[in-house]
């Protein structure tokens, strides 16, 4: 019998040799989407999004001051929104950091923003057209984890006024639909990426019809 220690070393050597034999067809390349050598001074901890065409949506700090949300695929960047207008920042106070920025295959970007006039909301933007999906002027006191599908429907977590309850909702500019409650608002319930499952089995089937990119809805 081969000793366990020798077997482990042999396995590691075999793995190393297999890596050396990777063909050029299996190799990958990195594409720089943006850096801080120009108008952008840095990139916060919010999560960028990417669609099937390789277009990346992200937020960034501006060298001249303020913040912006951009899209790019390796060439010139397109500015989607910034803090020179109705938005004061893209920091989500519920999370203590910048929020998720998401993009679907038609190029619609979904994001969380704080408003100059007070309150906050989840918005989408495409071709310069801004749509309010939901804001905190109604029953919600907090919003987080927005994700958008190819039909333009956004799924998000909404914190109900008072902070004692939260739920998973969808919206596309009208009244959001409620698909289930979360026991405590501190539970991280889902829509960070399209490839994660929401942690609520009772509503998983309903949410999945809105949740996956590249799937006919």
pTM of the model: 0.72
Burial of 26 (0-12, 13-18, 19+ CB in 10 A): exposed
Q: Residue 201: pLDDT band by 50, 70, 90 thresholds?
A: very low
CA–CA gap between residue 60 and residue 44 (Å, rounded): 6
CA–CA gap between residue 177 and residue 76 (Å, rounded): 37
Q: Give the pLDDT of residue 45.
A: 64
What value does the mean pLDDT of the chain take? Answer: 75
Mean predicted confidence (pLDDT) in 50-60? 94
Mean predicted confidence (pLDDT) in 179-206? 38
SS (H, E, C) 44-57: CCCCCEECCCCCEE
| φ/ψ of residue 189, rounded to 5 | -110, 35
Q: Give the pLDDT of residue 4.
A: 43
Residue 125: name the closest of 92, 152, 146, 91 by CA: 152
Residue 78: name the closest of 51, 55, 106, 62 by CA: 55
């Amino acid at each position: 019998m081969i000793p366990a220690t020798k077997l482990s070393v042999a396995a590691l050597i075999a793995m190393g040799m297999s890596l050396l034999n990777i063909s050029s067809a299996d190799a990958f390349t990195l594409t720089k989407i943006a850096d801080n050598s120009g108008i952008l001074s840095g990139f916060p901890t919010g999560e960028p999004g990417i669609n099937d065409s390789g277009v990346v949506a992200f937020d960034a700090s501006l060298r001249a001051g303020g913040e912006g949300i951009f899209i790019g695929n390796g060439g010139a960047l397109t500015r989607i929104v910034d803090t020179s207008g109705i938005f004061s920042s893209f920091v989500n106070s519920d999370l203590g950091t910048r929020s998720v920025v998401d993009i679907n295959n038609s190029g619609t970007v979904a994001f969380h923003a704080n408003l100059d006039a007070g309150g906050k909301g989840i918005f989408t933007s495409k071709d310069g057209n801004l749509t309010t999906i939901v804001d905190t002027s109604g029953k919600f006191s907090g919003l987080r984890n927005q994700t958008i599908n190819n039909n333009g429907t956004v799924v998000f977590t909404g914190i109900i006024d008072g902070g004692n309850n939260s739920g998973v909702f969808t919206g596309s500019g009208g009244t959001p639909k409620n698909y289930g409650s979360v026991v405590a608002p501190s539970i991280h319930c889902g829509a960070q990426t399209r490839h994660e499952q929401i942690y609520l089995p009772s509503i998983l089937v309903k949410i999945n019809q809105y949740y996956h990119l590249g799937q006919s809805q």
